[in-house]
């Protein structure tokens, strides 16, 4: 019998317990799953042009390689909701490319974000209402640019750049053959977003 394996069968937790009715029955199975998939994993993409992209801190932000200088990178971002954008070098010089509009770095950033996370997730995160019949990365970019967004606060660039360095540092950490039971909560999946 298994009953005696239970620590106790709690009194007052029968069918007439006050919180049974607001518990199990009404809530979906998804909410009572330990391994529910909350975040689809990133899709593979080429990293040469945009080595780092993330949806974080209420912004789409990342690092874009310079077309001309291998040692220079641009830190670019677009804020969710307002689409306020910034673009500057890792030495905090402003990018002259956009002349008050989305520069090519920002366009590349949006394009790669869509490849990595899917159009739907990027659109939702940035709070864009894309009026296009067949939304794609171009209509998404136009929908944001069309609101004539302002230039954002460039002071966040240092933070984005340090997040990129933190991201790169993961490559330097040693693998381990000691089991990590916690990873049981993070099953892989073939399903795409």
Partner 1 sequence: MVPDDEGGGLMRVDLLGDAIDGLDEALTAVDGFDDVLVGGLLRPQPGQSDGLMGLAEAVAGTPLASRVAEAAEKTAAGAAGEDHFVALAAARTALLGSVHDALAARVEEVVDRPRAEESAGEAAPGGVGDAGRGEETQASNLGAAARSWLSDLARAGWQGIDHDLVAEAAPVVSAMLPDPALRRLATLLDGFAGELAACCPGAGLERIPVRRWADLWSRAMLLTVPGAGSASAGRGEATGRLLPLGVDVQEHATAVQAQVHGVFEPADGGTPRLVRASVSAPKPDTVVGAGLWQVLRPHMSLLTAVSEERVMALDAMPLTAEGDLIWDDGRARMGDSAEVFTTARVALPTAAAFPTAPLDRHPARLAVPVLLEGYAVEEGDDGAVAFEIAGQRLAVDAERAPTAGPLTAEAVASSAACIGLLRWDAGEFLLQPLAVERTVGKKSVAVHAGAWAGGTSDKAGVRAEKAATDAVKVLRERAGKLLRK
Q: Which of residues 170-189 bind partner 1 (CB under 8 A)?
A: 170-189
Q: Which of 22, 68, 129, 148 is close enough to bind partner 1 by CB under 8 A?
A: 22
Q: How far is the CB of 133 from Zn ion (least distance, A)?
A: 30
Three-state SS sequence of 50-92: CCEEEEECCEEEEEEECCCCCCCEEEEEEECCCCCEEEEECCC
Alpha carbons 139 and 144: distance in angstroms, whole number? 9
Alpha carbons 11 and 17: distance in angstroms, whole number? 9
* 3-state class (DSSP) for residue 132: coil
Total residues at interface with Zn ion (CB under 5 A): 5
Total residues at interface with partner 1 (CB under 8 A): 80
Alpha carbons 166 and 113: distance in angstroms, whole number? 19
x-marked contacts with partner 1 along 123-162 as a string, rule CB under 8 A:
----------------------------------------
Among Zn ion, partner 1, none, partner that 87 touches (CB below 5 to 8 angstroms by kind): Zn ion
Q: How far is the CB of 166 from partner 1 (least distance, A)?
A: 6
């Amino acid at each position: 019998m298994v009953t005696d394996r239970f620590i106790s069968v709690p009194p007052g937790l029968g069918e007439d317990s006050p919180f049974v009715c607001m518990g199990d029955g009404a809530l979906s199975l998804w909410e009572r799953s330990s391994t529910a998939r909350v975040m689809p994993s990133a899709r593979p993409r080429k990293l040469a042009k945009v080595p780092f992209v993330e949806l974080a801190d209420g912004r789409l932000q990342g690092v874009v390689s310079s077309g001309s200088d291998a040692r220079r990178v641009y830190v670019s971002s677009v804020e969710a909701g307002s689409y306020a954008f910034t673009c500057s070098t890792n030495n905090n010089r402003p990018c002259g490319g956009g002349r008050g509009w989305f520069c090519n770095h920002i366009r590349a950033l949006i394009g790669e974000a869509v490849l990595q996370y899917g159009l739907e997730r990027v659109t939702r995160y940035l709070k864009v209402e894309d009026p296009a019949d067949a939304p794609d990365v171009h209509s998404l970019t136009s929908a944001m640019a069309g609101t004539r967004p302002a230039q954002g606060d460039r002071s966040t660039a240092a933070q984005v750049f340090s997040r990129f360095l933190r991201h790169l540092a993961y490559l330097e950490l040693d693998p381990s053959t000691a089991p990590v039971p916690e990873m049981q909560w993070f099953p892989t999946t073939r399903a795409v977003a």
